[in-house]
């Protein structure tokens, strides 16, 4: 019985090691850069949101229209501090968390990132 448990543990460790080695990423695919590593022109899409401040709780992972006012949703992107409009949570579900100064999300504790809505 102990031998069976030991074999299961060793098999689990081998599988975990193999998964960790591949990193869960495809080869030749680069990870998203952090905001500090982005060039001045580079921005990373997080979600789509209604451009009306009172509807900032409306969010989607795809382009579309606001369910409350019908306006076209705009891309909310992580950007540089020079272009930012607000600090926001990088999680789509917390699109309503926006403030003027750095901080952490009250919903998940993640660091707020410089963001803007691409209205152009």
Q: pLDDT tens across 68-101, in order?
A: 999 999 999 999 999 999 999 999 999 999 999 9
pLDDT tens for residues 20-33? 444 443 333 334 44
Domain limits for position 68: 38-118
28 in a domain, yes or no?
no
- CA-derived radius of gyration, the chain: 20
What pTM was estimated for this model as a whole? 0.63
11 in a domain, yes or no?
no
Mean pLDDT for the stretch of residues 13-24: 48
21 in a domain, yes or no?
no
93 in a domain, yes or no?
yes
78 in a domain, yes or no?
yes
How many domains is the chain partitioned into structurally? 1
Q: Spell out a b/e string for 49-82, using b for 16 or more CB atoms within 10 Å of the CB, else e.
A: bbbeeebbebbbeeeeebeeeeeebbbbbbbbee
pLDDT tens for residues 37-67? 444 458 999 999 999 999 999 999 999 999 9
């Amino acid at each position: 019985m102990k031998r069976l448990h030991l074999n299961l543990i060793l098999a689990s460790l081998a599988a975990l090691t193999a998964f960790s080695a591949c990193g869960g990423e495809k080869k030749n695919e680069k990870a998203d850069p952090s905001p500090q590593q982005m060039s001045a022109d580079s921005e990373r899409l997080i979600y789509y949101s209604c451009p009306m401040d009172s509807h900032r709780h409306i969010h989607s992972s795809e382009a579309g229209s606001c369910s409350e006012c019908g306006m076209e949703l705009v891309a909310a992107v992580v950007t540089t501090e020079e272009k930012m409009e607000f600090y926001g949570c990088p999680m789509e579900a917390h699109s309503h968390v926006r403030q003027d100064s750095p901080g952490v999300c009250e919903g998940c504790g993640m660091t707020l990132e410089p963001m803007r809505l691409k209205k152009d």
